Amino acid sequence: MARSVYFHIGLPKTATTYLQTICWAAPDQMRRDGVLLPGRERRDHLWASRVVREEGRRGRRSQRELTAWDRIREDLASWPQDGLISHEFFAAASAEQAQRAVADLAPAEVHLVVTAREPLGLFTASWQESLKNRSTTPMADYGRTTSDRPSDTWNWRALDLRLVLERWSEAVPPERIHVLPLDRSAPRDDIWRRFAGVVGLDADAYDTSQSFPNESMGVVEAEVLRRVNQHLGSFNRAFDKGVYIRSFLADERLVPRRGEPFWPLPDQVEDCRARGEAALAYLASRPFDVVGDVAHLQVPASLPPRRTPDSVTDTEVAEVATELVAVLLGDVRELRTARRGDEGPAERAVSRWRRWWPSRR
């Protein structure tokens, strides 16, 4: 069995995609560093989090997904050095689920790695992320309760550092829990260097240029996406959400508009501030290994003025939406004229549509 397993559980929206992209681009280098990235592909860790958290709908999932946690454990069982498991949705696990997951990795010594962020920026980013996953919840209604269901990942259940640490510290002692506060003012690779240092990797041996930040939408663009989601009833598959809503529409069409940043409502800001203070007090009460400055987990006392999403007008939505239609029409024209030999999955889908459409004009 692996000597030690570093279990990176998030939190969501704390540079997790950035860190995972670097690691999954260089599993062989990680092996040379003595750290195994178990599983056959990146999705194994997402699927394993679903198994550990006992998400429902088992009948609708493939055998590969249902056995992902077993594959990870088997790989670690045959590896004599250290291992790394990484997915942010593990943060939503219950205390009992966390205990079972850690027990499943025995006799390896489990270290928990928790990347964290000040709650206000985290809250705003997580609401946008929920929209990219086809949510239609207005920000004014977002985060009003803390769920007791491990399946709810876009909720304070997985976003509140104190709540996550309380559950997971029942499975892993605080001295083996490494908390890495995200410093938004530092160079991009700062979090990678601290993460690599905890896990035992040579940070300089890895190419970080292919991992890009997950940028934010502006306030009007976010409201446009929320309203579009109300009409996407057939886009239920993970592939649809990931490829078409998140990547094609949000990240590639709405984010580049560089719209206005925004805050939630004032009472939500104060809730974020209180959660940050509670997390700091909890960290100070136990011997956690904090790798970085805990001040970065605190909501600033003074904030610059910004709009809230409920201030977006129908006129603003119409302006962005009509411009978006023009951009999408250009995309369709480009795809229709693409050479067949250069087509990927999206282009082939358009080709099938093109063959279908002329006969019905």
> What's the mean pLDDT in 353-358?
40
For position 212, what pLDDT does the model report? Answer: 67
**Residue 164: count of CB within 10 angstroms of its CB:** 25
Which among 117, 88, 127 is positioned nearest to 279, based on CA atoms?
117
What is the reported pLDDT for 360? 35
The average confidence (pLDDT) of the chain is: 91
- For the stretch 331-350, pLDDT in tens is 888 888 875 555 555 555 54
**pLDDT, position 346:** 56
Q: What is the pLDDT of residues 189-237, one digit of tens each?
A: 999 999 999 999 999 999 998 776 677 899 999 999 999 999 998 888 8
Domains present along the chain, CATH in parentheses: 4-215+265-297 (3.40.50.300), 219-260+313-360 (no CATH)
- pTM to 2 decimal places: 0.88
**What pLDDT sits at residue 352?**
45
Residue 240, pLDDT above cutoff 90: no
Rounded percentage of the chain residues whose pLDDT exceeds 90:
81
Instruction: Indicate the range of 65-79, 106-120, 141-155, 335-349 predicted with least confidence.
Output: 335-349
* Beta carbons of 266 and 305 less than 8 angstroms apart: no
What pLDDT score was predicted for residue 61? 75
pLDDT tier at 59, thresholds 50, 70, 90: low
**pLDDT exceeds 80 at position 113:** yes
Q: Return the sign of the alpha-carbon dihedral for residues 160, 161, 165, 166.
A: negative
Say which residue, 59 or 53, is predicted with more confidence: 53
- The per-residue pLDDT for range 5-42, each reduced to its tens digit, is 999 999 999 999 999 999 999 999 999 999 999 999 99
